Amino acid sequence: MNPVKIAVLVSGGGTNLQALIDAEKSGVIKSGKITLVVSSSPTAYALERAKNAGIETAVADKHAYANRKDFEEALIASLEEKGIELIVLAGFMYILSPDFIARYKDRMINVHPSLIPSFCGDGFYGLHVHEAALAYGVKVTGATVHFVNEITDGGKIIMQKAVEIHEGDTPETLQKRVMQEAEWLILPAAVEKVSKDILTEE
């Protein structure tokens, strides 16, 4: 069976993308193949990571389009051109429309840097998530990989991993620990699981 064709959608540094690239190389991901990396920003370092790994890239910059519909149509065209079967949102800082989400139902997953349902939903992204966890004073946080549905961070949970908060943590130190101890492990594992499930369905 051919591996599932995966597109990874990114906006920034792309450390989760790197974890996926490394996992494919090491054989942790074997049921899927990263076929396309799409960035919402032309300057995202994630694009360099994709190029270094020999993966095709595309830029879907919303500022380059008159409205959200045109932007998403261009995004869909680049996904369809490559025959993408699974979309992975890895630090993609753009809320997709309900129409887009419905089109990729059960075929789009996201990594979020907290234990959902804590510190998630609209406005909770990147460092803000860790600022909120520290402000609340929780002693344990973590990361979640979930299917994407019409509710922000509200889709079915695929995997979660807990991470301890340390005395003196800053949003930056916590973000790094959550990435190292949770995101970079559960995202590749979840991608393999979902890809394998898609292959078994076929």
**Which of the following is catalytic: 112, 130, 146, 166?**
112
16: tokens are 């989760």
Could you tell me the two tokens for 159?
Answer: 């995997």
Contact set for ligand GAR, span 63-92 (CB under 6 A): 90-91
Binding mask 122-141 for ligand GAR (x = CB under 6 A): ---xx--x------------
Cβ proximity of 116 and 157 under 8 Å: yes
- Nearest distance, CB of residue 92 and ligand GAR, angstroms: 7
Report which DSSP code applies to 119: S
Tell the residue number behind the tokens 């991608």, with chain if given. Answer: 191
Q: Is 146 in the site for ligand GAR (CB under 6 A)?
A: no
Q: From the CB of residue 15, how many other CB atoms can be counted at a distance below 10 Å?
A: 18
* Cross-strand pairs, 86: 6
Q: Which residues contact 4 (CB under 8 A, 6 or more apart)?
A: 31, 32, 33, 85, 86, 195, 198, 199
Among 21, 40, 57, 112, binds ligand GAR (CB under 6 A): 112
Count of residues engaged in binding ligand GAR, rule: CB under 6 A: 17
> Which tokens belong to 196?
């394998």
**Interface stretch with ligand GAR, choices 27-35, 70-78, 108-116, 155-163 (CB under 6 A):** 108-116
- Binding to ligand GAR by residue 193, rule CB under 6 A? no
Q: Is 112 a catalytic site residue?
A: yes
Instruction: Give the burial string for 125-150 (b: 16+ CB within 10 Å, else e).
Output: beeebbbbbbeeeeeebbbbbbbbbe
Nearer to ligand GAR, 101 or 199 (CB): 101
Closest to ligand GAR by CB, 84 or 186: 186
Residues that bind ligand GAR (CB under 6 A): 10, 12-16, 46, 90-91, 111-113, 125-126, 129, 179, 183
